[in-house]
Structure formats: structure tokens, C-alpha cells
């Protein structure tokens, strides 16, 4: 039941954000299914060699965003009901995050088609490898 987390400690991206993203990727790839147990804050922290509170920070955000349930004594599981589906608010936030990427892309002569091609490759990366370890 070991974890598939690889962190880049040199990155400017905070560790708890990287951890959060890796778990979200695991859910996207369906390596993590609704109801699946996640490691305790202590064991995961020990496994990847970071502090308990850093793991807890990632878990708290994942809980906030509806990815997981945290039970004070039983531990942490992927949300049994699945992740809250995208609504209009989510779409607007996503658009706000895409905005600077697309402005930059336009300046560098990247077309909408090329941009969507990159997106497509990523969608395939997550969807094709359902349950695999890549």
C-alpha cells in the first residue's frame, strides 16, 4: 500500500502544494478510488521524509476542496461520494488560472490549436493510464 509520491525539494513550488497535486493526480488516474484509505499524516511524513504538519496542510486543503474525508480517529479516505463536480464558479476560477498562460502563449506565437493539442495530451495522460502506475 505504498505511496507514489515524488517530490522536488529544489522546486519553488511548496511541498504541501506538490503533495496535494500528486494526490489529485492519483485520483484523476483512478489509482485512488472513492473510499480508498490514505496514509496517516505521520506515516506519510516519515515515508517521504518531511514534517507531519506539512502533510497535514496538504490534507486540510484536499478536505476543503472535497477530495477527501478526514475522520479524527479512523484516518483519511478519498471522498466516497466522489469529488464535487465542476460548476460555473469552478469554471470561472479555472478560466482565471488559464488566462495568464494563454496571454503568454499568444505572445509567443502558440496557436489555439497547438494549445489544445498540449491539453489533449495531458487529458490522455491521465485518462489512458487508468489504474496504472505511470
Q: Which does 3 bind (CB under 5 to 8 A by kind): DNA, its own copies, none?
A: none
Q: Which residues, 6 or more positions from 3, have their beta carbon under 8 angstroms from its beta carbon?
A: 39, 44, 47, 48
Specify the residue, 22 or 43, whose C-beta has the smaller distance to its own copies.
22
23-62 positions binding DNA, by CB under 7 A: 39-43, 49-54, 56-57, 59-60
Residues 91 and 98: their CA atoms lie apart, in Å, by: 10
Contact criterion met (CB below 8 Å) for 55 and 45: yes
C-alpha cell at 40: 496517516
Which of 14, 37, 80, 120 binds its own copies (CB under 8 A)? It is 120
Per-residue contact flags (x/-) with its own copies for residues 77 to 106, judged by CB under 8 A: ------xxxx---xx--xx-xxxxxxxxxx
Could you tell me which residues are beta bridge partners of residue 71? 75
H helices within the chain, ranges in order?
Answer: 15-28, 41-48, 52-64, 88-107, 112-128
Interface residues toward its own copies, by CB under 8 A: 21, 24-25, 27-28, 67, 83-86, 90-91, 94-95, 97-110, 112, 114-116, 118-123, 126-127
Interface residues toward DNA, by CB under 7 A: 12, 14-17, 39-43, 49-54, 56-57, 59-60, 70-76
Amino acid at each position: 500500500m505504498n505511496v507514489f509520491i515524488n517530490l522536488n525539494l529544489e522546486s519553488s513550488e511548496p511541498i504541501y502544494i506538490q503533495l496535494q497535486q500528486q494526490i489529485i493526480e492519483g485520483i484523476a488516474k483512478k489509482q485512488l478510488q472513492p473510499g480508498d484509505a490514505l496514509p496517516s499524516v505521520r506515516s506519510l511524513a516519515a515515508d517521504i521524509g518531511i514534517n507531519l504538519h506539512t502533510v497535514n496542510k496538504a490534507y486540510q486543503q484536499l478536505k476543503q476542496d472535497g477530495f477527501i474525508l478526514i475522520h479524527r480517529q479512523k484516518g483519511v479516505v478519498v471522498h466516497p461520494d466522489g469529488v464535487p463536480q465542476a460548476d460555473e464558479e469552478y469554471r470561472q476560477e479555472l478560466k482565471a488560472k488559464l488566462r495568464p498562460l494563454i496571454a503568454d502563449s499568444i505572445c509567443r506565437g502558440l496557436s489555439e490549436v497547438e494549445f489544445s493539442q498540449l491539453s489533449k495530451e495531458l487529458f490522455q495522460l491521465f485518462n489512458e493510464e487508468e489504474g496504472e502506475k505511470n
